[in-house]
Structure 1
Amino acid sequence: MRRRSLGLAIAVVTVIGAAGCGSSSDETSGSSASDSGKTTQVKVGIIPIVDVAPLYLGQKKGFFSSRGIELKMESAQGGAAIIPGVVSGQFQFGFSNTTSLMIAQAKGVLVRSVANGAATTGNTTTDVTAVAVKENSAIKSARDLAGRTVAVNTLQNIGDTTVREAVRKDGGDPSKVKFVEIAFDQMPAALDGGQVDAAWMGEPALTIAKSQGARAVTSPFAETDSKLTVATYFTSPQLAKENPDLVKKFAEAMTESLTYASAHPDEARQILTTYTKIDGKVLKNLTLPNWPAQYDMASLEKLASLGEQDGLFGDKKPDLKTLFQ
């Protein structure tokens, strides 16, 4: 798995080199069309999960269009896949879990967070992610995951790091957990079919799995830190330098969207039907994350410490003050 992670980092760095040699167009650099009354199309790499509901809600409410930004969302499996798209100019902005951003920066990939994304609810029994098992599984708590196979959406990332921390806190041996990579939307079937012993799922996959009889045994985000900043929206320093006005307007619109979604959870829940395949019962029962307007730096420092303990960053530690400005 470590060789795979290093290979990904090398590929991303290669993309950066290519991006640095390319010329900018109005679309890829998001040039200041909004200043002249025109609309600038902005591509955002996202994961089609509950966490990004404020982005879609902000689009619907006009928080972006009022600033001359026309959003176009493009889906990927995880933050680790979105990062190369942002540094190459395929996307102007991306949504990524914070561990992916830390890994990228530690490997020399130039990224910069510009707005908060999502946070844990802090509830260790009902959170936006959980490790689920089949109803009749012998696994009763986090410590029982030692020696078992657990699905995560991306290996060597925020999922396995926080799962290990939950196992550690529960008195188990985190080094004995075996992780395999499966996309979130495929996890309920993989768990039900016995391909894995457990699956670390985000919403709506978690609620779908529960509707099929699965039960949650631990909530790793909340167990790691009750205010854990889980994900943020980010861009490349190149775009921030070439078009600081666009970056500023996107950040302002995103912050307004987070604040609105937090104050109007029913609207945030309903917007999920526009970009996920969720039936009415799942929609009603799923757990929404917290959407604070600001990062929680103490939680990010703890997550960085866990990543360092797991050997995610190699020889260089991430610079959190630069990454999360």
Structure 2
Amino acid sequence: MRATLKAAAAAALTAVLLAACGSSETPQPGGTGNAAPDDVKVGVIPIVDVAPLYLGIKQGFFSDRNMNVTTEVGQGGAAIVPGVVSGQFQFGFSNVTSLIIARSKGVPLKIVAAGNSSTGEAGKDFSEVVVKADSPIQSAKDLAGKTVAINTLKNIGDTTVRQSITKAGGDPAAVKFVELPFPDMPAALQEGRVDAVWVVEPFVTIAKDQGARIIASNLVDTSPDTQIAAYFTSEQLKQQNPDLVKRFTEAMNESLDYAAANPDAVRAVLADYTKIDKDVANRLVLPKFPTEINKTSLELLATLAAQEKLTDSKLDIAQLLP
């Protein structure tokens, strides 16, 4: 998540050229029955959002479809994109805005499954803007002239936080955004290095445990059920091995359904791939895990990306859809 937009786009486009020169390796259809399983690598970020994937692996939803799925951790969606295009990963997980930006730059990507979405409840979301307990800031309107930490500049964080500021009647242009990794944000807030931070779970709960106070729910303010992320693949793999993509999508959807129906299992599996404290895991707010790709949300995020000049023009999201 720390890669800049320019670096991410350049790396992704370089990966396209490498792939075109034959550097990528596409697994051959394994199908089902007696065929050897397809080895599938998924680029992920070690956060709550990808719990359904890990649950699906444990529950056998992927092996049932003749896939041997492993994961590899990337720095963020923008860093995972080049890995998928070059064939390092067959599939990846990214926030939607990073996918919109990449696709607008000509990077050949396709969403294959929904990732996760806002709870739609202000003050009870997995994504919040928080301030110190004794801060004079009472709402997003008061962020004018203040410094707000986000994990990646010119991406979904500042885009959606500006929606909260606008909704509260403030001036989004008067806010200074600085880039910090999520794990560093609670300390930066407590030490007064920033006035507010945008955090996602488990850092919302960690910050609140340190006395932080929620002033805005940026995803809820953007739209009631913002889809923040998705699983994706390259157009090359989709064309060369549609059966594998179909099986992965089916298994991923089963995993999302299982996660939605078993929140305790989601909390428990976090220990397998994160360092989240068990007590925090039991108290944090989980996102929603729908199987349906929210086209309305994607349209809005594409519009906002154009308004924020993250893209030269509004992306036709049909280019990203399966």
The bucket for the TM-score relative to the shorter chain is over 0.9
Whether 1:317 and 2:304 are equivalent positions in the alignment is no
RMSD of aligned Cα (Å): 1.5
The one of 57, 64, 68 aligned to 2:62: 64
1:150 corresponds to: 148
2:305 corresponds to: 307
The one of 160, 185, 204 aligned to 1:162: 160
Once superposed, which parts of structure 1, at least 4 consecutive aligned residues long, lie more than 4 Å away? none
Aligned counterparts of 2:239 and 2:16: Cα–Cα separation in 1: 15
Aligned pair count? 318
Aligned counterparts of 1:185 and 1:149: Cα–Cα separation in 2: 18
Aligned counterparts of 1:217 and 1:7: Cα–Cα separation in 2: 32
Q: Is the 8 A contact 1:78 1:153 kept in 2?
A: no
The amino acid of 1:213's aligned partner reads G
The amino acid of 1:318's aligned partner reads L
Q: Is the 8 A contact 1:131 1:217 kept in 2?
A: yes
Map 1:239-254 onto structure 2 (within 5 A). 239-254=237-252
Distance 1:31 1:195, change over 3 A: farther
The amino acid of 2:187's aligned partner reads A
Aligned counterparts of 2:24 and 2:156: Cα–Cα separation in 1: 33
Alpha-carbon shift at residue 7 of structure 1 (Å): 4.2
2:29 corresponds to: 32
Map 1:193-204 onto structure 2 (within 5 A). 193-204=191-202
Map 1:14-25 onto structure 2 (within 5 A). 14-25=14-25
Range with greater deviation from structure 2 (200-209 or 162-171)? 200-209
Aligned counterparts of 1:177 and 1:200: Cα–Cα separation in 2: 13
* TM-score, normalised via structure 1 length: 0.94
The one of 257, 270, 275 aligned to 2:255: 257
2:126 corresponds to: 128
2:208 corresponds to: 210
Alpha-carbon shift at residue 23 of structure 1 (Å): 4.4
Alpha-carbon shift at residue 302 of structure 1 (Å): 1.4
Whether 1:293 and 2:291 are equivalent positions in the alignment is yes
The amino acid of 2:255's aligned partner reads S
How far does the alpha carbon of each residue in 1:117-155 deviate from its partner, in whole angstroms, 9 at most, with x for none?
Answer: 001000011101001111111211111122221111111
The amino acid of 2:320's aligned partner reads L
Alpha-carbon shift at residue 70 of structure 1 (Å): 1.7
Aligned counterparts of 2:183 and 2:64: Cα–Cα separation in 1: 34
Aligned counterparts of 2:75 and 2:132: Cα–Cα separation in 1: 24
Aligned counterparts of 2:314 and 2:307: Cα–Cα separation in 1: 11
Alpha-carbon shift at residue 24 of structure 1 (Å): 4.5
The amino acid of 1:32's aligned partner reads P
How far does the alpha carbon of each residue in 1:207-239 deviate from its partner, in whole angstroms, 9 at most, with x for none?
Answer: 111111112111100111112111100000011
Alpha-carbon shift at residue 186 of structure 1 (Å): 2.1
Map 1:217-228 onto structure 2 (within 5 A). 217-228=215-226
2:233 corresponds to: 235
Whether 1:6 and 2:2 are equivalent positions in the alignment is no
How far does the alpha carbon of each residue in 1:232-261 deviate from its partner, in whole angstroms, 9 at most, with x for none?
Answer: 000000111111111111100000000111
The amino acid of 1:185's aligned partner reads P
1:266 corresponds to: 264
Aligned counterparts of 1:192 and 1:76: Cα–Cα separation in 2: 28
Aligned counterparts of 1:192 and 1:34: Cα–Cα separation in 2: 53
Distance 1:322 1:252, change over 3 A: same
SS in 2 for 1:231: strand
SS in 1 for 2:113: strand
SS in 1 for 2:287: coil
Alpha-carbon shift at residue 202 of structure 1 (Å): 0.9
Alpha-carbon shift at residue 34 of structure 1 (Å): 4.5
Aligned counterparts of 1:220 and 1:24: Cα–Cα separation in 2: 38
Aligned counterparts of 1:112 and 1:274: Cα–Cα separation in 2: 28
* TM-score, normalised via structure 2 length: 0.95
Q: Is the 8 A contact 1:78 1:154 kept in 2?
A: no
Structure 2, gaps ≥5 residues long: none
Aligned counterparts of 2:260 and 2:133: Cα–Cα separation in 1: 33
Q: Is the 8 A contact 2:146 2:175 kept in 1?
A: yes
The one of 261, 281, 284 aligned to 1:283: 281
SS in 2 for 1:33: coil
Q: Is the 8 A contact 1:45 1:76 kept in 2?
A: yes
Aligned counterparts of 1:31 and 1:186: Cα–Cα separation in 2: 42
Structure 1, gaps ≥5 residues long: none
Aligned counterparts of 2:255 and 2:242: Cα–Cα separation in 1: 20
SS in 2 for 1:313: coil
Q: Percent identity?
A: 54
Aligned counterparts of 1:71 and 1:203: Cα–Cα separation in 2: 25
